[in-house]
Structure formats: C-alpha cells, structure tokens
Amino acid sequence: MISVLMFSLVYLLVKYLKHIPAQELILFRSLISLAISLVHLRILGVSPLGNNKVWLIIRGVSGIIALTMFFYTIKHMPLASAVTIQYLSPVFTVILAIFINKQKVKPIQWLYLSLAFVGVILIKGWDERISMNMLLLGMCSAFFAGIAYNAIIKCRKTDHPVVVVMYFPLIATPIMAIWSWGTWVQPIGIEWLLLLGIGVLTQIAQVYMTKALHADHASKITPFKYLGTLFALLFGYTIFEESLHLISLLGIGLVVFGVLMNSRIKLKPLL
C-alpha cells in the first residue's frame, strides 16, 4: 500500500512537470535514488556491487527503457489511461516468466490475460487524445517492465532489495546525464522541490515494491497495486480536468480485472 501511494504521487508530479523532458526527470530521480541507496547500503554494511550481476544489469537496463517510455506516455495521454496501460506489465511478467523463470501458465490465465489486452483496445477506443503510437509505446513500456520484474525475481535469493533498487539509478545516471545535455530545461522555484520529491518518493516505492516481490506470498498483496488506477483517475479528473469516455473506463476495468484475477493464481515451475 505504501508503494502504491508513493508511485501514484510520483506519476502526479511527472504529469505536473510536463514541460521538463522525461530523461531529465529520470536523471534527477536517479541521482537522488542512487545517493539514498548508497547511504542505506553503507549503514547496512552490504556491498553495493551485488552478487547476481548479470540479472542486476538486465533489471537496470530494462527498467530504464520501461520508465522512459512510461514517463513519455504520462505526458501525452490521460493519466489514468497511461497508468492502466503500464499495468499490463504483470501480463508480460507472466508470459516472460515461462521462458526466464521456467514457470507454467495455467489455461485459465490465458483467458484473464486476453481480457487485459481487450481492455487496452477499449481504452484506446475513440479517444483522440491517445494516438496509436502512444498506445504502442505504453505497451512496450509494460513489456520491458515485465523483463525488469522477472530480473528482480531472479535476484530474490541472491541480493538485498536495496541493491536491486540501486542498479537502476547506477546505470541510468550516466545515460540520462548525456541525453539531457542538449535538451536541458532549467527548473524554476518550487520545481526543484518537486524534482526532489520524485526521487525520494520513488525510492520509498521501489524498496517496498522490491520487498513485496521478494516475499513468499507476494501474490496476495499484488491486488493492492491496482488501487493506483483509482488514484490516477482521481488525480486526472480533479487536478488535470481529464475526463474519460465510458468505453475507456470499461477498458480500464477489464485490464484491472484481468490482471487482478491472474495475480490470484500462483504459477508453478515447468517440469
């Protein structure tokens, strides 16, 4: 629940700072997260280099790609739609887990996953604010997030949650610094505080999300994640005056239902 609330506030700040490029937002987020992670690991006496370096790097790179695309969609489509489409990440997590973590998908799960994809189509519907390019970008973001989540699972028994979290900013900081060089938009006044908020809130959200994925019964708490859709709807309507078509709302419901029902089914290893 802490993770859900913190992530929702981050999305709100990203939407509010829409004039600042996504790569610059990720740079600030990464610098703050990296500093907090290094201090945290030093206090714990844990090596920041980690053990399962291959999967830690995969987690970092795939996470960067997913987040960059996601921040871009937040800026160019209704907040609730962008957040819901990104919530397809558990769908891709399940599909990719067949190959990466050798897990078996039950037949009923394919029905739930299909409902989620139908929901995405309905979200696009006749909403002219959502272009096909943005829709595909959002789905690509969810796909790479699925890779990142599988990488986190791979590191479950080998690395501390804070180490897993730290690899994202460790890789993202130099990449985003170079990318932001020619596109820099100078923050003004309170925007500096909001950028600090993005970094701090994300760090808290990431640590608790990673702890949840490392938990033995993470599937039982996964449903709470989808309260983030309600937060996005609330923020979009009250702050950004974003209304959604009935069909789009139906689509959001299908995505949440499909992913939620799928999360209640525990995957089994392949024989």
- Give average pLDDT by consecutive 10-residue segment, the chain, 271 residues: 86 92 94 92 92 94 95 91 84 82 77 86 80 92 91 87 91 95 92 93 82 59 68 84 84 84 60 37
Residue 213's pLDDT is 63
Rounded Cα distance, 225 and 222, in Å: 6
How far apart are alpha carbons 261 and 113 in whole angstroms?
9
- CA dist 133 and 93 (Å) reads 22
Tokens of 157: 């028994």
What pLDDT is attached to residue 24? Answer: 95
The whole-angstrom separation of Cα 161 and Cα 177 is 25
Q: What is the pLDDT of residue 270?
A: 41
Candidates 245, 242, 213; CA nearest to 148 is 213
pLDDT at 228: 77
pLDDT at 67: 93
228-252 as b/e, with b when 16 or more CB fall inside 10 Å? bbebbbebbeeeeebebeeebbbbb
Placement of tokens 């890789």 in the chain: 171
Beta bridge partner(s), residue 167: none
Q: Is 184 left (phi over 0), alpha (psi -120 to 50) or beta?
A: beta
Contacts made by residues 218-226, CB under 8 angstroms, sequence distance 24+: 219/263, 219/264, 219/265, 219/266, 222/90, 222/260, 222/263, 223/260, 223/263, 223/264, 224/1, 224/4, 225/3, 225/4, 225/87, 226/87, 226/256, 226/259, 226/260
SS (H, E, C) 159-184: CCHHHHHHHHHHHHHHHHHHHHCCCC
What is the pLDDT at residue 190?
Answer: 94
Question: In 87-160, which residue ranges form alpha helices assigned H by DSSP?
Answer: 89-100, 107-124, 132-154
